């Protein structure tokens, strides 16, 4: 998938993104030509005030929404205008997402939640062929985040920090190239938040995972290689 | 894979959805039971009607019939070809049946049917409906020496059948016993007369016994009849049922039904050894079924009856003749069982004067035709219709004859099915509502799944699969329940009757001892498919809604 000649090119690139929401009578322009890129194995923090459009930008990069203008490129290829099935596939294989509210599936236990992307990817037959391997990978990830004793707990039996670690494990289980995190520490106390952040930094450093982290917390943003600030719908360089 | 897993998990964590399926279950169960019972009744009725009627009936429009059945049968065979398996001529004429029971003459309006005992059983199930095993294999109009079934042969070993002990001694033993009793009674009568006269008393004392001597019913006899009826009604044991009847005979017997009908030859008939022309009346003419389901017989094989019928002359004259009952005919269609009386066709033709004195060729009213299995009923009928002048002959199939009844039953079944299917459809709306609730509740999870790369089709699949699963579950439970009820319906009936003390199913009305059911796999397949289809259809809208959810908005949902 990755073109070696373009290895130096940014992994993720956002060019002139526009996004507006219809609100009341008029249009609310949230993003007005955002340009932004993340190199391979890069760690970029996006900061900005509440309502500045950080989450919106992240959703656009994660293909959960489509921009009104501009383009999103992954590995040099435009991905925002792909057909729905290809975008579903990319979300599943190349992009991992972590949210502020964890977003675990309440009916599944920790292990199953981590396995969810693989369950989504495989049909019934393929799943039974890959089951062992997938389970091993998921257990490994959970152990790595210190959750080896929580494999069969349902989300509501877990603490916030544990849930967020499960969510990160889930985002990583499919070995994505890019991790998008939307205020992963926003709901956590300082200690748990620091733990999560350490885990992300470690992933970036040791595994070479590219991370785009959205936060409004300057101190967290400083852990990143680069900081991008969103102000009134545009990127303000630092 | 996630589709299946989540489907299963939602099912396991949301038992309330099963509540919406209970109505599917009940609807399916009801449909299965109703269809089985209706089909059972319809089949029972059809087979009875068809058992009585032959496949095709060839008849003349006039009551006096047409001449030379043999020639007609030849013609029919030529027109219908190989499809004809058997034919038999019949003569049908309205008549009055009179018999004497407990001091009273009972008169019934009947259809007197002359049949050829050799061939009649070959064109319909006529033989099956007789009470003597030998008559079932080959009817004879000669009285049998006992051996009539005391257990209805058509009930196939059903334990709940009330026995008919009255038929135990029917036949020649009954006849001999009766003749003997009459003789004894006459002797006593004569003795009493003698003593009364010796004592100077006149014969007009109005004593009970002499009252019975007159042919008309008079008060004293009525007393006796009341007493007998009371005794009969009070006697719960079936064995006792006959006893009072038999007891009642001697005083009433002097109204001798056959005294007037001495054989034409002028010699005295030995009643204990000889019989009149045999007849087979419908069982409904000779008996009634009381509230407990026991058959009470008014007359028995071996008894004599009088029948009045019109001759074939113009204008018809009424003639009366005496006949001996040799068997009963029980088709379980009360319409026929209380209407038909079968006599030998030759005898009837002679009595009615239907035989041409010059040629010796008889006339008949109709020819009953049985077709070979698999022959096209309507096609053969139409061929015969075109082969004979329609202004003289009518050709009809058994279905034509009972068309209104059969189509009424079909209609009833169709309407019931529509109504019951409405119930299942209502259940469908229940599922729809509950599914919408579940989709709303699961909105965020749907967003999560989409963020993990689940396709819209996959999301829709979760809910469609859920609906399918619930439908299958509901229909499966309904199937089990329905079949359970159907197979045990008679036990349930007994239970319900025991609990409520009311008769749910009155054998004296339906002439069955148990509720007939037929489980038709095709019908069941349709019902199940319909119910599952409705469940799936009801989940289509919620599933589409789930699939269309915008991932971001779904994620924001709380
Ligand atoms: N569906 C929508 N319809 C209308 N307006 C919307 C919609 N989604 C977001 N907005 C608006 O877009 C703006 C940006 O929202 P967004 O969630 O991206 O902000 P954010 O930077 O992530 O804020 P926070 O730091 O509080 O999470 C907000 O003003 C919000 O009201
Ligand atoms: Mg946000």
Q: What is the pLDDT of residue B223?
A: 45
Nearest Cα of chain A lies from the Cα of B3 at a distance, in angstroms, of 8
Ligand 2 centroid vs B235 CA: distance in angstroms? Answer: 92
| Percentage above 70 pLDDT, chain B | 82
Provide the 3-class DSSP secondary structure of residue A106.
coil
Query: Which range (A134-138, B209-213, B249-253, B432-436) has the least confidence?
Result: B209-213
> Do B130 and B177 share a domain, yes or no?
no
Residue spans of alpha helices (H) in B253-299 = 283-286
Ligand 2 centroid vs A101 CA: distance in angstroms? Answer: 10
Ligand 1 site, residue A52, Cβ cutoff 6 A: yes
Provide the 3-class DSSP secondary structure of residue A48.
strand
- Which residue in this structure is represented by tokens 């309507």? B378
Query: Which range (A2-6, A205-209, A212-216, B1-5) has the least confidence?
Result: A2-6
Residue spans of alpha helices (H) in B442-550 = 443-451, 456-487, 489-500, 507-510, 521-548
State pLDDT tens for residues B162-192.
677 777 778 888 888 888 888 898 889 888 8
Residue B323 confidence (pLDDT) above 50? yes
Where residue A132 falls among pLDDT bands split at 50, 70, 90? very high
| Residue B146 DSSP class | S
Domain-located, residue B17: yes
> Do B42 and B61 share a domain, yes or no?
no
Residues B229-255, mean pLDDT to the nearest whole number: 40
Nearest to A120 among B452, B551, B555 (CB): B452
Residues B446-451, mean pLDDT to the nearest whole number: 92
- Which chain A residues touch B11 with a CB distance below 8 Å? none
Nearest to A85 among B445, B455, B555 (CB): B455
- Which chain B residues touch A126 with a CB distance below 8 Å? 1
Report the C-alpha gap between B89 and B106 in whole angstroms: 30
DSSP B148-168: --SS-GGGTT-TTPPP-GGGG
> Do B17 and B42 share a domain, yes or no?
yes
Residue B345 confidence (pLDDT) above 70? yes
Where residue A88 falls among pLDDT bands split at 50, 70, 90? very high
Mutation choice for ligand 1 from B550, B552, B558, CB with most ligand atoms inside 8 A: B552
Query: Which range (A52-61, B242-251, B436-445) has the least confidence?
Result: B242-251
- Which chain B residues touch A108 with a CB distance below 8 Å? 5, 9
Closest CA to B6 of B421, B546, B518: B546
Number of domains in chain B: 3
Taking only residues 531 to 550 of chain B, the set having a beta carbon closer than 8 angstroms to any beta carbon of chain A reads 550
Q: What is the pLDDT of residue B241?
A: 37
Q: What is the pLDDT of residue B256?
A: 43
Nearest to B448 among A84, A103, A122 (CB): A103
Ligand 1 centroid vs A13 CA: distance in angstroms? Answer: 22
Nearest to B453 among A105, A106, A121 (CB): A121
Q: Using CA positions, which residue lies closest to atom 6 of ligand 1?
A: A21
Q: Are B431 and B537 in contact (CB under 8 A)?
A: no
Report the C-alpha gap between A55 and A30 in whole angstroms: 10
> Do B197 and B224 share a domain, yes or no?
yes
Pick the ligand that lies closest to the CA of residue A57: 1
How far is C-alpha B152 from the chain's CA centre?
Answer: 13
Q: Is B15 near chain A, with CB under 8 Å?
A: no
Token pair for residue A123? 């049909």
Q: What is the pLDDT of residue B249?
A: 41
Residues B224-253, mean pLDDT to the nearest whole number: 40
State pLDDT tens for residues A40-84.
999 999 999 888 999 999 999 999 999 999 999 998 899 989 999
Where residue B205 falls among pLDDT bands split at 50, 70, 90? very low
Residue B232 confidence (pLDDT) above 60? no
Probe site for chain B from A56, A89, A99, A116 (most B CB atoms < 10 A): A116
> Do B378 and B453 share a domain, yes or no?
no
Cα B147-B151-B152 angle, rounded to 5 deg: 105
Nearest to B2 among A59, A64, A119 (CB): A119
Q: Are B370 and B85 in contact (CB under 8 A)?
A: yes
Report the C-alpha gap between B458 and B551 in whole angstroms: 14
Ligand 1 site, residue A204, Cβ cutoff 6 A: no
State pLDDT tens for residues B302-318.
888 889 988 877 788 88
Q: Are A147 and A168 in contact (CB under 8 A)?
A: no
**Longest CA–CA separation in chain A, Å:** 54
Residue of B nearest to A115 (CA): B2
Q: Over chain B, what is the mean pLDDT?
A: 77
Query: Which range (A40-44, A105-109, B61-65) has the least confidence?
Result: B61-65
Nearest to A107 among B13, B550, B551 (CB): B13
Close Cβ partners of B235 (under 8 Å, ≥ 6 residues apart): B241, B243, B244
Residue of A nearest to B7 (CA): A107
Residue B257 confidence (pLDDT) above 80? no
Domain-located, residue B269: no
Nearest Cα of chain B lies from the Cα of A127 at a distance, in angstroms, of 7
Q: Are strands A178-182 and A95-98 parallel, antiparallel or unpaired?
A: parallel
Query: If you compute the radius of gyration of chain B from its CA atoms, what whole number of angstroms results?
Result: 34
Residue A169 confidence (pLDDT) above 70? yes
- Contact flag A120-B445 (C-beta cutoff 8 Å): no
Ligand 1 site, residue A100, Cβ cutoff 6 A: no
Report the C-alpha gap between B68 and B77 in whole angstroms: 15
Report the C-alpha gap between B163 and A99 in whole angstroms: 82
Nearest Cα of chain A lies from the Cα of B6 at a distance, in angstroms, of 8
State pLDDT tens for residues A144-156.
888 999 999 999 9
> Do B8 and B60 share a domain, yes or no?
no
Mutation choice for ligand 1 from A51, A100, A182, CB with most ligand atoms inside 8 A: A51
Report the C-alpha gap between B79 and B386 in whole angstroms: 9
> Do B284 and B298 share a domain, yes or no?
yes
Closest CA to B307 of B272, B255, B258: B258
Residues B356-365, mean pLDDT to the nearest whole number: 76
Residue A158 confidence (pLDDT) above 70? yes
Query: Which range (A19-28, A152-161, B41-50, B100-109) has the least confidence?
Result: B41-50
Ligand 1, closest atom to CA B553? 1
Ligand 1 site, residue A113, Cβ cutoff 6 A: no
Query: If you compute the radius of gyration of chain A from its CA atoms, what whole number of angstroms results?
Result: 18
Q: What is the pLDDT of residue B90?
A: 84
Q: Measured between alpha carbons, how far apart are the two ends of chain A, in Å?
A: 33
Q: What is the pLDDT of residue B258?
A: 44
Higher pLDDT, B71 or B459: B459
Ligand 1 centroid vs B300 CA: distance in angstroms? Answer: 98
Where residue B238 falls among pLDDT bands split at 50, 70, 90? very low
Domain-located, residue B339: yes
Ligand 1 site, residue A48, Cβ cutoff 6 A: yes
Residue B203 confidence (pLDDT) above 70? no
Nearest to B1 among A88, A104, A123 (CB): A123
Nearest Cα of chain A lies from the Cα of B161 at a distance, in angstroms, of 57
- Contact flag A127-B1 (C-beta cutoff 8 Å): yes
| Percentage above 90 pLDDT, chain A | 56
Domain-located, residue B533: yes
Ligand 1, closest atom to CA A52? 21
Residues B347-358, mean pLDDT to the nearest whole number: 80
Higher pLDDT, B320 or B121: B320
Q: Over chain A, what is the mean pLDDT?
A: 89
Give the start-to-end residue ranges of the domains of chain A.
Answer: 42-64+83-228
Ligand 1 site, residue A210, Cβ cutoff 6 A: no
Where residue A89 falls among pLDDT bands split at 50, 70, 90? very high
Ligand 1 site, residue A215, Cβ cutoff 6 A: no
Q: How many CB pairs under 8 A join A and B?
A: 72
Ligand 1 site, residue A7, Cβ cutoff 6 A: no
Whole-angstrom CA distances from A102 to A191, B313, B474 are 17, 104, 36
Q: Measured between alpha carbons, how far apart are the two ends of chain B, in Å?
A: 26
Residue of B nearest to A103 (CA): B448
How buried is B190 (Cβ within 10 angstroms: 0-12 exposed, 13-18 middle, 19+ buried)? Answer: exposed
Q: What is the pLDDT of residue B384?
A: 81
Q: What is the pLDDT of residue B209?
A: 36
> Do B156 and B291 share a domain, yes or no?
yes
Ligand 2 centroid vs A28 CA: distance in angstroms? Answer: 16
Ligand 1 centroid vs A179 CA: distance in angstroms? Answer: 21
Where residue B197 falls among pLDDT bands split at 50, 70, 90? low
Q: Are B159 and B147 in contact (CB under 8 A)?
A: no
> Do B536 and B419 share a domain, yes or no?
yes
Where residue B245 falls among pLDDT bands split at 50, 70, 90? very low
Ligand 1 site, residue A5, Cβ cutoff 6 A: no
Whole-angstrom CA distances from B124 to A177, B114, B153 are 84, 15, 17
Q: What is the pLDDT of residue B262?
A: 43
Token pair for residue B71? 């020639």
Q: Are B127 and B117 in contact (CB under 8 A)?
A: no
Q: What is the pLDDT of residue B207?
A: 36
Burial B196-222 (b: 16+ CB within 10 A, else e): eeeeeeeeeeeeebbbbeeeebeebbe
Where residue A87 falls among pLDDT bands split at 50, 70, 90? very high
> Do B102 and B197 share a domain, yes or no?
no
- Contact flag A64-B13 (C-beta cutoff 8 Å): no
Ligand 1 site, residue A216, Cβ cutoff 6 A: yes
Domain-located, residue B199: yes
> Do B75 and B222 share a domain, yes or no?
no
Closest CA to B510 of B294, B285, B297, B334: B334
Where residue A138 falls among pLDDT bands split at 50, 70, 90? very high
Instruction: Say what angle helices A160-173 and A190-206 make with each other, to 10 degrees.
Output: 20
Token pair for residue A58? 């992240």
Q: Which fold has domain A42-64+83-228?
A: Rossmann fold (3.40.50)
- Which chain B residues touch A170 with a CB distance below 8 Å? 452
Q: What is the pLDDT of residue B46?
A: 77
- Which chain A residues touch B451 with a CB distance below 8 Å? 62, 64, 91, 97, 103
Domain-located, residue B224: yes
Helices vs strands, H then E, count in chain B: 21, 13
Nearest Cα of chain A lies from the Cα of B551 at a distance, in angstroms, of 6
State pLDDT tens for residues B126-143.
777 888 888 888 888 888
Ligand 2 centroid vs A63 CA: distance in angstroms? Answer: 16
- Contact flag A103-B552 (C-beta cutoff 8 Å): no
Ligand 1, closest atom to CA A28? 5
The domain containing residue B75 runs over which residues? Answer: 54-169+277-401
- Contact flag A124-B447 (C-beta cutoff 8 Å): no
Residues B354-382, mean pLDDT to the nearest whole number: 79
> Do B203 and B346 share a domain, yes or no?
no
Residue of A nearest to B462 (CA): A120
Where residue A166 falls among pLDDT bands split at 50, 70, 90? very high
Token pair for residue B428? 């469908």
Residues A97-121, mean pLDDT to the nearest whole number: 92
- Which chain A residues touch B5 with a CB distance below 8 Å? 108, 112, 119
């Amino acid at each position: 998938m990755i073109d070696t000649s373009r290895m130096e090119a940014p992994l993720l690139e956002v060019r002139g993104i526009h996004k507006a929401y219809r609100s009341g009578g008029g249009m609310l322009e949230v993003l007005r030509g955002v340009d932004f890129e993340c190199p391979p194995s890069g760690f970029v923090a996006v900061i900005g005030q509440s309502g500045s459009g950080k989450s919106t930008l992240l959703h656009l990069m994660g293909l959960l929404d489509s921009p009104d203008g501009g383009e999103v490129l992954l590995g040099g290829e435009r991905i925002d205008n792909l057909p729905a099935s290809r975008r579903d596939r990319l979300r599943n294989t190349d992009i991992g997402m972590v949210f502020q509210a964890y977003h675990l599936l309440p009916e599944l236990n920790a292990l199953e939640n981590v396995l969810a992307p693989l369950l989504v990817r495989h049909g019934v037959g393929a799943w039974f062929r890959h089951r062992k391997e997938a389970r091993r990978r998921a257990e490994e990830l959970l152990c790595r985040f210190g959750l080896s004793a929580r494999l069969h707990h349902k989300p509501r039996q877990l603490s916030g920090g544990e849930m967020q670690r499960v969510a990160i494990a889930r985002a990583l289980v499919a070995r994505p190239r890019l991790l998008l995190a939307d205020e992963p520490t926003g709901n956590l106390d300082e200690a748990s938040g620091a733990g999560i952040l350490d885990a992300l930094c470690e992933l970036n450093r040791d595994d070479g995972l590219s991370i785009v982290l959205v936060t409004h917390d300057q101190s967290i943003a400083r852990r990143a290689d680069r900081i991008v600030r969103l102000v009134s719908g545009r990127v303000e360089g630092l | 894979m996630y589709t299946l897993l989540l489907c299963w998990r939602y099912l396991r964590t949301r038992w309330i959805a099963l509540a919406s399926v209970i109505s599917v279950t009940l609807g399916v169960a009801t449909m299965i039971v109703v269809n089985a019972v209706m089909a059972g009744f319809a089949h029972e009725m059809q087979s009875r009607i068809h058992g009585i009627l032959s496949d095709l009936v060839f008849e003349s429009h006039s009551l006096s019939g047409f001449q030379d059945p043999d020639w007609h049968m030849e013609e029919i065979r030529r027109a219908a070809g190989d499809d004809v398996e058997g034919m038999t001529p019949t003569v049908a004429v309205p008549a009055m049946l009179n018999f004497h029971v407990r001091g009273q003459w009972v008169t019934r309006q009947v259809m007197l049917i002359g049949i050829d005992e050799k061939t009649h059983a070959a064109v319909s199930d006529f033989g099956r409906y007789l009470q003597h095993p030998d008559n079932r294999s080959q009817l004879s109009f000669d009285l049998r020496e006992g051996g009539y079934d005391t257990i209805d042969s058509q009930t196939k070993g059903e334990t709940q059948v009330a026995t008919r002990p009255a038929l135990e001694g029917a036949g020649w033993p009954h006849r001999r016993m009766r003749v003997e009793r009459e003789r004894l009674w006459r002797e006593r009568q004569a003795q009493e007369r003698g003593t009364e006269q010796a004592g100077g008393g006149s014969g007009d004392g109005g004593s009970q016994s002499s009252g019975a001597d007159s042919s008309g019913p008079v008060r004293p006899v009525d007393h006796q009849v009341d007493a007998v009826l009371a005794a009969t009604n009070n006697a719960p044991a079936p064995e006792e049922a006959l006893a009072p009847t038999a007891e009642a005979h001697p005083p009433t017997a002097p109204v001798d039904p056959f005294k007037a009908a001495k054989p034409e030859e002028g010699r005295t008939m030995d009643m204990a050894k000889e019989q009149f022309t045999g007849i087979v009346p419908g069982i409904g003419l000779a008996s009634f079924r009381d509230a407990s389901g026991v058959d009470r017989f008014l007359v028995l094989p071996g008894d004599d009856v009088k029948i009045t019928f019109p001759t074939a002359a113009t204008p018809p004259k009424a003639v009366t003749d005496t006949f001996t009952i040799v068997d009963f005919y029980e088709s379980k269609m009360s319409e026929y069982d209380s209407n038909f009386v079968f006599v030998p066709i030759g005898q009837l033709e002679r009595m009615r004067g239907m035989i041409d004195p010059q040629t010796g060729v008889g006339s008949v009213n109709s020819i009953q035709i049985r077709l070979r299995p698999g022959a096209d009923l309507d096609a053969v009928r139409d061929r015969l219709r075109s082969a004979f002048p329609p202004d003289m002959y009518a050709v009809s199939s058994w279905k034509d004859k009972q068309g209104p009844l059969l189509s009424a039953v079909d209609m009833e079944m169709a309407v019931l099915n529509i109504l019951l299917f409405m119930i299942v459809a209502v259940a469908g709306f229940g599922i729809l509502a509950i599914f919408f609730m579940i989709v709303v509740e699961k909105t965020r999870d749907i967003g999560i799944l989409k963020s993990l790369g689940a396709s819209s089709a996959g999301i829709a699949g979760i809910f469609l699969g859920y609906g399918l699963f619930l439908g299958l579950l509901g229909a499966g439970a309904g199937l089990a329940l329905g079949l359970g009820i159907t197979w045990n319906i008679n036990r349930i009936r007994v239970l319900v009757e025991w609990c409520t003390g009311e008769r749910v199913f009155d054998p004296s009305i339906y002439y069955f001892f148990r509720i007939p059911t037929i489980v038709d796999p095709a019908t069941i397949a349709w019902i199940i498919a319909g119910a599952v289809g409705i469940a799936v259809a009801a989940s289509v809208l919620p599933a589409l809604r789930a699939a269309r959810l915008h991932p971001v908005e779904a994620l924001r949902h709380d």
